[in-house]
Amino acid sequence: MRAITLTKTQLNEIFHKPIAWMVLFIMPFALIAFLLYGLEHVLKSESLLPPFEVAIVDEDDTFGTRILIQDFQSDEELSQLVTFRLVEEKKAQMLLMENKIAAILKVPEGFTHGIQYGDNIPVTVIGNAQRPFQASLFREMMNSSADYVSAAQSGVNTIYDYMIEAGISQDDTLKVVNPLIQDFTTFALNREQMFEKEVVTAFQGVSALKYYSVSGLIFLLLLTGLLAMSLTSATNTKIEERLRTFGVSTATHIISAFLTLFMILFLQSLLVIVGLYVLTDLNVTTHIGWSTLAILTTVLVTTAWYTFLSNLPLSSGMKFFTGFLGLLLFTAVGSLVFPESYYTGFLSWLNLSTLTHWLHSVLIHSLFIENVEILYSSLGVLAGMTGVLLFSAFLLRQVKQT
């Protein structure tokens, strides 16, 4: 009973502050506006990397280079990401300075002759410093192609030397070798032939809008929880001074703090979900039970996280700073920005250890994909996290009071 009374007192203190109303009623719609406007490209293209343009400067201007450039421009795989422009060098430099292209691919004079006779005359890739990721990606594509060309060129040179040593005339040898040179060069620059193609859905089988709507909901709950924790820290100090002499137990403090944050975050989640439903064309599953359980679990775990943080033996400023660092970490590696398939090695392990990864998984597979197996495992992990966080908060509070 004391916990409920203390919760009412805390909520009353908080909602007498204008910032609380801003957090609850303005931030959700600001988030939805950001999703629809700031992520417009990602939501439409289903890709985290927008297409970019590359200028080709062909100083060799031979039949071989024209065939290669034509292969570049007609490649279906490349065209989904890169658009090529065949221009003069001055024009290419101007486009680069105006930030209209991501890189320049410069084919030097003698390039075709070098391939035919084993001379190393490499192409030049000039990247745009204003688009470092796109420029680096294109450079790596060209590096991998160059490696294939070098390996294949060694094979063709071996064939050439063998035919000459076997006494075959040079004209007959070139009739065999020249087509091979053309074949391996186009093969090395053709991404569709070079690799076995396997389509992997980046957003766990849902649209980008659905994926980032869930990310936005989780991020907003984390941000609201951080601000609410800061507000309750101020009110708790005043209330504890008044209740210290009344023998309020550790459990009462933990329960009241938990209920206060839970009410704020639950109301926040309802507003975001209603706003997304009204302002977008999101279609959810018809299983109300799983969806309701997933949303309640999300609010419970987020509340448990901030209940734990609020009981750390730190000053209010340090608690806020710790929570802010946690928010940044969860956003960067917890599946909120980049899907799970984008993480490898250590980052994959780090991604699986964040609560936001499991929150994202349980919401995706309840609201949009009814996958019971994943729901069971995700809910089990989140239940364990909630128990550990609340028990840790209780121990910290107990130590603090003693």
Q: What pLDDT score does 242 carry? A: 55
- Name the E strands within 242-375: none
pLDDT at 140: 76
Residue 291: Cβ within 10 Å count: 18
Q: Which residues contact 297 (CB under 8 A, 6 or more apart)?
A: 359, 362, 379, 382, 383
| pLDDT at 392 (0 to 100) | 92
Residue 284 is predicted with a pLDDT of 67
User: Residue 268's closest CA among 22, 10, 6, 3?
Assistant: 22
What pLDDT shows up at residue 189? Answer: 52
Locate the domains of the chain by residue range.
Answer: 2-44+204-401, 50-194
Distance CA 394, CA 311 (A): 8
Residue 189: CB atoms within 10 Å: 22
What span, in angstroms and rounded, lies between the C-alpha atoms of 308 and 263?
A: 17
Q: What is the CATH number of domain 50-194?
A: 3.40.1710
**Considering the entire predicted model, what is its pTM?**
0.62
DSSP strand E in 13-72: where? 52-58
Q: What is the pLDDT of residue 248?
A: 61
pLDDT of residue 106: 87
- Report the DSSP pairing between strands 124-127 and 103-107: antiparallel
List per-residue pLDDT tens for the chain, 402 residues long. Answer: 566 776 777 667 666 766 766 766 676 667 666 666 655 555 555 555 567 888 889 888 877 677 777 766 676 666 667 888 888 888 988 898 888 898 898 888 887 776 666 666 777 888 888 888 788 877 877 776 666 666 666 666 677 677 777 778 777 776 776 676 666 655 555 544 444 444 445 566 677 778 888 888 898 888 888 888 877 765 555 555 555 545 566 677 788 878 888 888 888 888 777 776 776 666 666 578 888 899 999 999 999 999 999 888 888 889 889 999 999 999 888 888 888 777 777 888 888 899 999 999 998 888 888 778 888 899 999 999 999 999 998 888 777 766
Q: Which helix (H) or strand (E) holds 26?
A: none
Question: Any residues with CB less than 8 A from the CB of 376 and at least 6 apart, and which?
Answer: none
Which pLDDT value is given to residue 192?
A: 44
pLDDT value of position 117:
62
- CB pairs under 8 A, 24+ apart, for 39-43? 39/208, 39/212, 42/208, 42/212, 43/207, 43/208, 43/209, 43/212
